[in-house]
Structure 1
Amino acid sequence: MSPTVKPRAGTEGVAAPTESVRDRILNTARDLFYKEGARAVGVDTVVARSGVAKTSLYRWFPSKDALIVAVLEQEQKDRWAGWDKTAAQSDPEPRARLRAHLNGIVRFVSSSHFRGCPFMNITVEFADPQHPARVLALEEMQELRRRLRGLVDNIEGVSNREELTEQLLLLVDGAFSSAQALGKNGPQQFLVATADALVDAQLKK
């Protein structure tokens, strides 16, 4: 049972803050785009589901592309906030920290709500490499590579850090892809063990 929280002096009778119009639109679009696809969901559907006027949507997001990019930017923000939280809570020993991040990925992709990596999904939906959403998805992949390289750089004795980084990136991408089709029983359950084997192989070279 949660403890009773007493209101601060002078706040009695003040309504709790509500979700802003922008956040309501963004959260609705984020949910719909992830479940049904950004191309498949029209602006009218987002307006209807969020309960706001179309003029309000366009006040905050001048185009559907702008809304898609805003959704991906929020996905990006939440992803790396989660990554940083895992890093802060994990054992600082380099291999233990790598395992902590990979275990987090396994839990994420094994969730019943998982419907693929939102950034990989976007690259499938938008073929134009110059589309702003696809550009952002590429930036996200590059950031994942950079963070994996940071983990690899902290492991002593690795013979080829670039190669190991690319191998780990391939494993993570594979976990995202296979889990979308095979669900919680996909091969992502071997992600940590396979990564360990790759690290061990590099240490023996």
Structure 2
Amino acid sequence: MKRNEAATADVATTDASRDTPRKPCVRDRIFDTACDLFYKQGIRGVGVDAIANEAGTNKMSFYRSFSSKDELVAEYLRDSERDFWLWWDGVMAAHEGNPRAQCEALFAASPCDTNMRGCPMANAAVEIREEDHPALMVVRVHKTEIRARFRALAHQMQAHDPDVLGDGLMLLMSGSVQSRLIFPCDGGPAVNAGAAARSLLDAHLKKCV
């Protein structure tokens, strides 16, 4: 084969390989499967065998990829946390400089679909009992940050009692998300979370006038 023909063939092969979707590695399959099962069935309801079988692998491959189920749970929650803050920061950026609009947008933009099973962090907190569980620290840090951010928004709005308002907003968001475990998106109390948030903001901000 001539040099330019060989080069052309190499380029074609490279282009074809780029167009072909890469098969997920074993670790990725295990992780993606575990995330789905943990969210739908609960952390305690899913064992290593079930995760390995569903991922099309075995326990040996599982423990090559993750040191323990507890560590996998912690990673599952860290991944959920990253998604949450990407969503939060996107909402914030759309209303930069207007804390009230940012706050209202958080409730207006709260995602909801038929597959929602509440907040992964809150669900994990209910199931985890061991104080030294690596996932519990992930939950505590995440919820503490949400509380701090809502309080910061309340301070920016110059509320009469910003810490009370911030905590109230956090409770409202947490409650509306968890209510989706029981009620459908289009008919449960979560549909009124935005209106409730506006009423709460009005009540606290009027005291500043």
TM-score by length of 2: 0.85
Question: Distance between the aligned counterparts of 2:122 and 2:108, measured in 1?
Answer: 20
Partner of 2:47: 42
**Are the counterparts in 1 of residues 155 and 162 from structure 2 also a CA contact under 8 Å?**
yes
The reply to whether residue 53 of structure 1 matches residue 58 of structure 2 is yes
Q: Identity rate of aligned residues, in percent?
A: 36
- Residue 74 of structure 2 aligns to a residue whose secondary structure is helix
The reply to whether residue 130 of structure 1 matches residue 132 of structure 2 is yes
When the two structures are aligned, how many residues end up with a matched partner? 193
How far the C-alpha of 1:93 sits from its partner, in A, is 2.1
How far the C-alpha of 1:82 sits from its partner, in A, is 1.4
The higher radius of gyration belongs to: 2
How far the C-alpha of 1:91 sits from its partner, in A, is 6.0
Moved over 4 A (4+): none
Partner of 1:177: 178
How far the C-alpha of 1:92 sits from its partner, in A, is 4.3
Question: Distance between the aligned counterparts of 1:31 and 1:168, measured in 2?
Answer: 29
> Which ranges in structure 2 are unaligned for 5 or more consecutive residues?
1-10
- Residue 138 of structure 2 aligns to a residue whose secondary structure is helix
Structure 1 range deviating more: 133-142 or 14-23: 14-23
TM-score by length of 1: 0.86
Deviation per CA, 1:48-100, whole angstroms, max 9, x where unpaired?
Answer: 11112322221221111111111111111111111112222346422111111
Deviation per CA, 1:121-158, whole angstroms, max 9, x where unpaired?
Answer: 11111223332222221211111112212322322x31
Question: Distance between the aligned counterparts of 1:180 and 1:166, measured in 2?
Answer: 22
Change in 2 beyond 3 A, CA 1:204/1:86: closer
Amino acid at match of 2:23: T
Deviation per CA, 1:25-51, whole angstroms, max 9, x where unpaired?
Answer: 111000001111111111111111111
Matches within 5 A, 1:51-200: 51-90=56-95, 92-105=97-110, 108=111, 110-155=112-157, 157-184=158-185, 185-200=187-202
Which among 4, 13, 16 is matched to residue 16 of structure 2? Answer: 13
